[in-house]
Structure 1
Amino acid sequence: MGIIVRRNERSWAIVIISEIKVMLSGLNLKIKSAGGESTLSVNKTSMFPDVLLYEDEAQTKILQGWELKMPDVLITDEALIADATRKAKALGLNSFVIWNFTYGKLYVENENGDFEEAKVWSGTSHITSREDVMTYKAEWLPIIKEIVMTVNDYLVNGKIATSSIINTISEGLMTELIQRNKELVAENITIESSKNMPMESRLKVWWNAFHEEYDKDEKDMYSAYAKSVLLNWTNRIMFANTIKRYHNCAYMIKDIDYTTSPNEGNIIIEHIVEQGDFYSVFKPLEFNEVIPEDTWIDIVDYNQFLIENNIEKIEQEDLQDILEKTVNTAKREIRGQYATPYCLADILCQITVQDWNKDCADLCAGTGTIAKAIINNKSKRINSAEKAFMTTWMSDKYAYPLQIANIAVTDIHALNIPINMFQTDVFDVQTGNKIEVKNPTDGSGIEKSIPKFGAIVSNLPFVEYNKVAADEQAYIAQYREKIINNTGIEFTLGKTDLYNYLPFKLYELLEKDGKLGIIISNSWLGTDIGKKFFDALQYYYLIESVVISNCKRWFNNADVIGTLLILKKKVISVPDKTKKISFWLTNKDIHSIEDKDKEILINSVVLHEIIDESVALMKEYSISDIDNITQYGISLNALFHNISWIEKIKGFIEPITNELNMIRGERTGQNDVFYIKGETSIADKFLYPMLKSSRNVKKFTASANMMAFCCDKSIEQLKEDGEEGTLKWIRKFSDENYDPIPKSINYSPWYQMPSSNRADLVTSENPDRRLFIAELEESVIVDQRLIAMKYKESVGDKELVFALLNSIYGMFAIEANGFGRGQGVLDISKTGFQKISMINPNLISKEDAAEIIVLFSKIKNRNVMELQVELEDKDRQAFDKKVLQAIGHEEVYDLIKESLLSMQHTRHCVK
């Protein structure tokens, strides 16, 4: 690789660094050293300033960067100032100096984060050329000393702050390197893969597996892979420099310099692996050599910076801090949307593991947070770092997360202990299988057998059923059959997510009475599939605890709400219906929870006792209780709240389907054909009133907001009847043979949407703060996104049924039927909704019914209010209390109100 050297700037930078070092030796200043020579060898805009000042001789506390230019570059050049600003920010510095041998300027960051001019030096205006720099050296050198003295004054006065090498290495520079080079690398990979079909195919396989991790960040496969390539290089270079003091072979990292290529860099790192292992960290990402020259120079710059700053000489705790911060930066750059926060991993480990001396594992290790928590907790309790590592196992399907995981669990104090880490799909892990781990001291292989585990703790991969990789489908089919054979419960094909099957695989790897602690999506708490999952688990495990947040969300991704599930292995058998399950709400933000409260939370869940209600609340139900409650269309999600009052009124409620038929909303596949707004050529007799959305339904009554095209005649009949206007509309979406142009239409014949599916009542599939069912002024066609109902012919008093549906119990029935989405809305489905119950109108006297209808009429024609406000409304209270009084149970009013508000609070607290 040819490197063009910036000879003038480089040579004069070395001169200035040398001169500053000489002058510092005779002065007792806060500034102790100068450097920067090793990153001045390139032909592009460097990542680093030309000169670095340090507050310590060990060069671990960077004070300031200087940018040097020849006199022919104006000191006011905007690009120069912007570049110096960028470098200062990357290094975490709040000042910089620009010097062009004619003028000097000091810039200091103000309160708004902007860099502004603080001091100017001049007096050498006759230096105008590069030749003058040498001629008048004696004149400008004193100004350099003056700048140093001024900068020292600013340091003494606290106007200039130092930057810790820890943050600089693991945060600022990694991020800077990635942002500077991501698109360059992406472009290079795009070009190279266009010449190499196997490479393109390999990238697509990778993207199919990992695109979920990048959904909130990188939409483009090449940009995402470019970021992974850059992280692969920076992680390996950082790690090698960090462990040099403990593994001499890592000193070979110095051989990656401006004379080497990326391929040669990989070979140098291979030699480190051969002598000292850490293979998972040092493994090269495929195609990591496909990077442009400018990017490789930045990577070399980064390496040279670490070498020059002697990071191996800093304290062990600081080295550990670098490792941990590097992991955080890597996770942030990937933006793994389901990456486990350490605080959550720590809590989950402590409420799962019963015996810390036994082998524990995370077999969906990802970036190693849970494994790190296991090791930390073991080390504290069994007082042996070696045993902590030796009894902790981790694996993942993919190599790249294991690189970060290895860094995450590495302990600078215990670098010579082998790590039980291996790359395998969790479905392929078998007790007794042999794996080889490496001895970090000499790279020799150590064969180990996978044991039975006392505990497995994992954040199970959240892969939706329609995104499960092809190679996982066979495993899913296999375990689906096993579940059917052992439980009689059949998971619906094409509707179950990957995590639904994993506990049944992990069961095989646990010892007798072994514990499983998992993080999974909360969707299972409110769906039919989730109920089957819950029921099947009871054959394999004692379900000890389910934990959700009642105070802010655990994951940064707004779409994901997590639950913790604590299970204890049993002999596969019919569930004991008397066994109780604890449902916990955590009332503290786990990201900022104090140690005392965290201990209370852990002790509470472990002991199944409420110790402090401000920290955690528990509701406990036997499996028999749960079966009884859920038969009324109440989801598992409601069990975290006080719903024991249901026992008092269960004799006065009935399935909603006794009074209503559920109507299938229209799913046209091409709404433009059938949903009509404004003028049209269609004959009126083929237009029917339609409601597409509940978005604009504000009251208990609603009306159609458009017309639907519903034709029941053939093309020939339309021609015979002279329906030219209607034919014209059909031709708009068809060819000369009347075959449809859009191919996704769901009717046969394609233009014949039926007019028979008409609803009397509707509610939203995703209600938020307003819970109600609206009655339509006339029966209309509705869209699939609405839950639609029609009165049965047997209903004697529609007004009473409508009122009861909207009573306080009716609102509870809606809320209790679903589960909360990440945006805070309630998720309910048509299949789930048809199972809800309502107060039985046939058990209400005519006198009470008449009074209920009168009281409901007082609120029927106003806008529906948000739940909290709605429940405070005097007319609403009178109506609700009358409904409950009519069935002899007005005393449960406050209990239902409390349940409703509690459920909505939990649903909204995750926003």
Structure 2
Amino acid sequence: MVQLNYNERSWAIDVIAEIKKYLANKSVIIKNAGGENTLKKSKSTYFPDVLLFGDELGNSILQGWELKMPDTPITDPELIKNAREKADLLGVNSFLLWNVSEAVLYKIDDEGNHKIIKTWNDLNYINTREIVRERTVEWKQTLHKILDDLVDYFNRGEIRSTTIIDSVTGEGISNFILENVYLVADCLKQYSATNVDFEDEVFIWWDTVRVEYPNENDPWQPLAKNILISWMNKLLFAHILKNFREEAAIIDKIDLDTKPAEAVNIITDISSKCDFWNIFAPQLGEEHIPSSVWEKIVHYNIFLTDLKLESVGQDLIQEILQSTIYRTHRKLAGQFTTPKKLADLLVALTIKNKRGNVYDPCCGTGTIARAAFDLKVESGISYKEALQTTWASDKFSFPLQMATLALTNPKNIGEVINIFKKDISDLKAKEDIKLSNPVDGSEIIKQLPQMSSIVSNLPFVRQEVIKKLNPSIIKNINNKIKKALGKGYQLKAKSDLYAYLPFVLWDLLKDDGRLGIIISNSWLSTEWGVEFKKALRKFFHIEAIVTSGKGKWFNNADVVTNILILNKINPKADSLEGKEISFVTLTEDIINKEYNDKNLINNIARSIRTKKKDKYLNIETYSLEQIKKIDELGITWSALFSNCDWLFEITDKLLPASKIFDIARGERRGWNALFYPEPGHGIEKIYLKPVLKSSRDIKGYTATANSEAFCCTVSLQKLREMGHLGAYNWIKKFENGVNNTGQPLVEVLTNPQYSYWYSLEPKTLADFVISMNPDERLFVAKLETRSFVDQRLIRFTANVQDVDMDLVHALMNSILGLFFIEALGFGRGLGALDLNATKFKRDLKILNPYLVSKEQAERIKDKFSKLKKRGTLPLLEDLNCGIRKEFDDVVLRAFGIEKYKEQMERSLKNLYNIRKSVCQNN
């Protein structure tokens, strides 16, 4: 007799069992199947009915299946839509539909479209659900064919798997939970209307943390986000904890019959039996979740049960937590999660006294604090002592939950973890710090010691938002710098937040303590970086600066970063005579690639400390006296990652470019509609000048302006008197206009540098031009006709008459000219060179054209004419071109410095390769 209640769930459970049985004795890419927990606990699910895994433990997810009875067409739009959504949720690029009679495999292409790539219809005669069970032998045979075919697809790489990290931490799962923020926020707000005590608690919390949410006007959405993320973290960690404590297995009891308040009790029960109070502590409002959202959270819990996360190790815990939540939550404050190997390298370079106290004051998810803890343990220090001498804090409350996870280990259960909430700018040595008892959450008071080492990935916060995040830090730090250096010294207003923080941390270090920080590379080359370096060298000896020559360290951010290793000194007593600074380039991607050598990071750190070159890095070491000469030449510190010793031998051949040119940024008057008129304007030709509007319009060493600029320094009255009504009417057209914020154009465009509010001045017409953000091609273009240039270009306006400008043009495009262009900028996150017109005006040097004889000048111009005819090329291709080599040989021989050509070329290539390396792992 046919079993009438044999339904989709029953069949799906049988399918999973048969998959496991069939795979038991096979050695194929598909290792296991799951999903039965979901099927047993709900009628419908947000996750696939069947999960295929690439390993026994379920750490690699291959594919999800949706199963239906024959009375649901395989072409049902809703079925296909649901299956696609679940594939996106998992992060895989395929899904399979099977309604017994027919199975269909879909692939999702790189453009996001899904299409059928395989169909199995051997069972098309099974067209009712009533006969499915009695046709078990047939559908099992088809199942085996499906599995065999899928193995072939996976082996060929036509469909891909995903890891637990990519699935659990990807955009799909994160959005799946966090898209409900609005619903939870509304539920919390509604509940507060009926419970004034809860409302009071919420606004007390909000008064404390609202600075973290400058774009929010009330607490409800931030609180909702915290609640949802907290639930995800608790469930995730509880499942992982099952591997260490069997008491945590009660997390599986949270199913669709469990209410939020009951789930809170289950979590509290786990904490009471397994410790980890900092992780499992109740969060404000976490039980006030609408049923539709709670159902999703429960489904997430059931999904975690299927994945068997209890098998996941500590390193994977960190990666899961970092990738899913932290980046989203902390994006406003500019911080990004530190890669584990980068954290390992940072602490290995910084910590010399491994028994001393080490501290990360911007700990985020705790990756660096964990690396410090691991270094101590690997050195033979006990887990207990390592934990007692590792400290971490953060300005924000939420990341501390994850930082606690990072320092959690079964061997230190029950020990106090030195993690606390504190704004870095408010830190004081020897102050009392409130910590939590890991068992019951009770308060413990400890004194914050002076540290042997401080290690941190400092916040990447632009100067525009410093006043919002740290309103007092600018004044306090500048006062400290003035006391040490004199009244004239202070950090410039454009300094990023990280520029102030080393001076805060100076007080927290013991004498001779060490500070190791990860910061943006902008300080090496920006205007504000000049004052930062002066102040930094007064309070610290800069031991080493480490950069990457093989890709960015932070793949999810456009920022390019350095490691900076500093030794504390007394600004009034310590001398830096005889000290050196090491500029280190990692020549292999040791941060993002896997290496078999477990001691690689420590060996690299040892090489850097001892200034020993090896295959993984290059070190250039400069004395402070040499760096002083470099500063006088105007070369940025970005250039010091290459060998610049040869520069000291040719300084007498150089001339400041400002002796020949007025150098400035192109015109930025602020209202292009007025100053760059479209055709049909009717303006007299006398008031029109050529304008070069974009670097894209520069096709070679000679540039032609292809647009017109309105250039009028005549009064309206005079225009009318002269009958120049085209220009007059054009100005009147804008006279009563306003800008995008409603301000009158007459007011916002008035500037004492210009004759009238509508004026462009002829004195800013350019002779030469260069892009502010050149990429692969480095060159200076000469304008065919003197022209205005737009604000994204740097203009060179000749201010002397006694020099051959064609010769100057050639010299600026010599190998030494290109080196100076590269050496005066710094690389951005997408690999472009960032140049600054003010720095060019002050520091750009060129080969002195006054030192060249007429005969030499003619030879140089002749060779340059061939280069111009050839056209510009990407730098590395350019330097290898015979025409370029002949040109540079003639130039360098004319100045008697040809013996340095190989060094110049090597230095230029090295700087270029470092800059462009950030694109390698994009």
TM-score range, shorter chain: 0.7 to 0.9
Q: CA deviation at 1:853?
A: 3.8
Query: Which position in structure 2 is the counterpart of 1:216?
Result: none
Is 1:827 equivalent to 2:834 in the alignment? yes
Query: Which position in structure 2 is the counterpart of 1:330?
Result: 324
Which amino acid in structure 2 is aligned with residue 790 of structure 1? Answer: T
SS for the counterpart of 1:585 is strand
Query: Which position in structure 2 is the counterpart of 1:786?
Result: 793
Superposed CA offset, 1:274-297 (max 9, x none):
776645433566676675532210
Q: CA deviation at 1:857?
A: 3.9
Query: Which position in structure 2 is the counterpart of 1:753?
Result: 760
Match 1:805 to one of 802, 807, 812: 812
Q: TM-score, normalised by structure 2?
A: 0.82
Superposed CA offset, 1:550-599 (max 9, x none):
12222214621111111111222475243111111111112225354545
Match 1:440 to one of 413, 438, 441: 438
Cα distance between partner residues in 2 of 1:190 and 1:699: 59
Cα distance between partner residues in 1 of 2:237 and 2:804: 75
Q: CA deviation at 1:806?
A: 2.6
- Shift of the 167–233 alpha-carbon distance from structure 1 to 2, 3 Å rule, reads farther
Query: Which position in structure 2 is the counterpart of 1:539?
Result: 538
Q: Is the 8 A contact 2:738 2:744 kept in 1?
A: no
Q: CA deviation at 1:143?
A: 3.8
Report which stretch shifted further, 818-827 or 143-152.
143-152
- Shift of the 191–847 alpha-carbon distance from structure 1 to 2, 3 Å rule, reads farther
Superposed CA offset, 1:11-51 (max 9, x none):
957766999999999999779999846665657x4124568
Is 1:887 equivalent to 2:895 in the alignment? yes
Cα distance between partner residues in 1 of 2:427 and 2:166: 34
Matching of residues 113-128 of structure 1 within 5 Å: 116-118=118-120, 121=123
- Shift of the 277–751 alpha-carbon distance from structure 1 to 2, 3 Å rule, reads farther
Superposed CA offset, 1:403-422 (max 9, x none):
22222332244333332111
Q: CA deviation at 1:248?
A: 7.9
Query: Which position in structure 2 is the counterpart of 1:218?
Result: none
Which amino acid in structure 2 is aligned with residue 752 of structure 1? Answer: S
Superposed CA offset, 1:462-518 (max 9, x none):
111113252412112211221122123634543000000111111111112111111
Q: CA deviation at 1:527?
A: 1.6
- Shift of the 755–551 alpha-carbon distance from structure 1 to 2, 3 Å rule, reads same
Q: CA deviation at 1:827?
A: 1.1
Cα distance between partner residues in 1 of 2:79 and 2:738: 68
Query: Which position in structure 1 is the counterpart of 2:631?
Result: 630
- Shift of the 728–634 alpha-carbon distance from structure 1 to 2, 3 Å rule, reads same
Q: Is the 8 A contact 1:669 1:744 kept in 2?
A: no
Q: CA deviation at 1:617?
A: 1.0
- Shift of the 754–419 alpha-carbon distance from structure 1 to 2, 3 Å rule, reads same
Q: CA deviation at 1:628?
A: 0.4
Q: Is the 8 A contact 1:855 1:879 kept in 2?
A: yes
Q: CA deviation at 1:637?
A: 0.8
Cα distance between partner residues in 2 of 1:93 and 1:839: 58
- Shift of the 74–150 alpha-carbon distance from structure 1 to 2, 3 Å rule, reads closer
- Shift of the 257–274 alpha-carbon distance from structure 1 to 2, 3 Å rule, reads same
Which amino acid in structure 1 is aligned with residue 539 of structure 2? Answer: Y
Q: CA deviation at 1:618?
A: 0.8
Cα distance between partner residues in 1 of 2:166 and 2:429: 38
- Shift of the 463–205 alpha-carbon distance from structure 1 to 2, 3 Å rule, reads farther
Superposed CA offset, 1:743-792 (max 9, x none):
88433543233333222222222222332322333333333322222223
Which amino acid in structure 2 is aligned with residue 888 of structure 1? Answer: G
Query: Which position in structure 2 is the counterpart of 1:497?
Result: 496
Q: Is the 8 A contact 1:558 1:823 kept in 2?
A: no
Q: Is the 8 A contact 1:55 1:62 kept in 2?
A: yes
Q: CA deviation at 1:395?
A: 1.1
Is 1:608 equivalent to 2:607 in the alignment? no
Is 1:682 equivalent to 2:689 in the alignment? no
Cα distance between partner residues in 2 of 1:807 and 1:201: 65
SS for the counterpart of 1:467 is helix
- Shift of the 378–670 alpha-carbon distance from structure 1 to 2, 3 Å rule, reads same
Query: Which position in structure 1 is the counterpart of 2:781?
Result: 774
Q: Is the 8 A contact 1:580 1:623 kept in 2?
A: yes
Cα distance between partner residues in 2 of 1:848 and 1:63: 69
Q: Is the 8 A contact 2:767 2:783 kept in 1?
A: yes
- What percent identity do the matched residue pairs reach? 35
- Shift of the 523–58 alpha-carbon distance from structure 1 to 2, 3 Å rule, reads closer
Cα distance between partner residues in 2 of 1:630 and 1:71: 78
Cα distance between partner residues in 1 of 2:536 and 2:729: 58
Cα distance between partner residues in 1 of 2:595 and 2:628: 37
Cα distance between partner residues in 1 of 2:455 and 2:81: 48
Structure 2: 5+ residue runs without aligned partners? 26-30, 155-160, 194-198
Which amino acid in structure 2 is aligned with residue 327 of structure 1? Answer: L
Matching of residues 99-110 of structure 1 within 5 Å: 103=100
- Shift of the 879–257 alpha-carbon distance from structure 1 to 2, 3 Å rule, reads closer
Q: Is the 8 A contact 2:515 2:565 kept in 1?
A: yes
- Shift of the 280–105 alpha-carbon distance from structure 1 to 2, 3 Å rule, reads farther
Is 1:303 equivalent to 2:301 in the alignment? yes
- Shift of the 824–200 alpha-carbon distance from structure 1 to 2, 3 Å rule, reads farther
SS for the counterpart of 2:472 is helix
Please give the root-mean-square deviation of Cα atoms over the aligned residues, in Å. 4.7
- Shift of the 210–661 alpha-carbon distance from structure 1 to 2, 3 Å rule, reads same
Query: Which position in structure 2 is the counterpart of 1:458?
Result: 456
Is 1:369 equivalent to 2:370 in the alignment? no
Which amino acid in structure 2 is aligned with residue 761 of structure 1? Answer: F
Query: Which position in structure 2 is the counterpart of 1:586?
Result: 586
Q: CA deviation at 1:71?
A: 6.7
Q: Is the 8 A contact 1:340 1:370 kept in 2?
A: yes
Report which stretch shifted further, 645-654 or 744-753.
744-753
Cα distance between partner residues in 2 of 1:111 and 1:234: 28
Matching of residues 276-355 of structure 1 within 5 Å: 278-282=276-280, 292-304=290-302, 306=304, 314=310, 318=312, 320=314, 323-330=317-324, 334=328, 338-355=336-353
Q: CA deviation at 1:62?
A: 10
Q: Is the 8 A contact 1:703 1:776 kept in 2?
A: yes
Which amino acid in structure 1 is aligned with residue 847 of structure 2? Answer: I
Query: Which position in structure 2 is the counterpart of 1:4?
Result: none
Query: Which position in structure 2 is the counterpart of 1:618?
Result: 619
Cα distance between partner residues in 2 of 1:195 and 1:709: 62
Match 2:849 to one of 836, 841, 862: 841
Cα distance between partner residues in 2 of 1:777 and 1:626: 39
Query: Which position in structure 2 is the counterpart of 1:516?
Result: 515
Query: Which position in structure 2 is the counterpart of 1:382?
Result: 380
Cα distance between partner residues in 2 of 1:722 and 1:187: 67
Q: TM-score, normalised by structure 1?
A: 0.83
Cα distance between partner residues in 2 of 1:363 and 1:9: 64
Cα distance between partner residues in 2 of 1:650 and 1:385: 57
Report which stretch shifted further, 751-760 or 793-802.
793-802
Q: CA deviation at 1:679?
A: 3.0
SS for the counterpart of 1:910 is helix
SS for the counterpart of 1:589 is coil
- Shift of the 49–900 alpha-carbon distance from structure 1 to 2, 3 Å rule, reads closer
Q: Is the 8 A contact 1:36 1:49 kept in 2?
A: no
Q: Is the 8 A contact 1:356 1:382 kept in 2?
A: no
SS for the counterpart of 1:538 is helix
- Shift of the 268–743 alpha-carbon distance from structure 1 to 2, 3 Å rule, reads farther
Query: Which position in structure 1 is the counterpart of 2:230?
Result: 232
SS for the counterpart of 1:620 is strand
- Shift of the 287–468 alpha-carbon distance from structure 1 to 2, 3 Å rule, reads farther
Query: Which position in structure 1 is the counterpart of 2:667?
Result: 666
Q: Is the 8 A contact 1:94 1:108 kept in 2?
A: no
Give the aligned length.
Answer: 875
- Shift of the 408–57 alpha-carbon distance from structure 1 to 2, 3 Å rule, reads closer
Cα distance between partner residues in 2 of 1:178 and 1:497: 31
Cα distance between partner residues in 1 of 2:707 and 2:316: 61
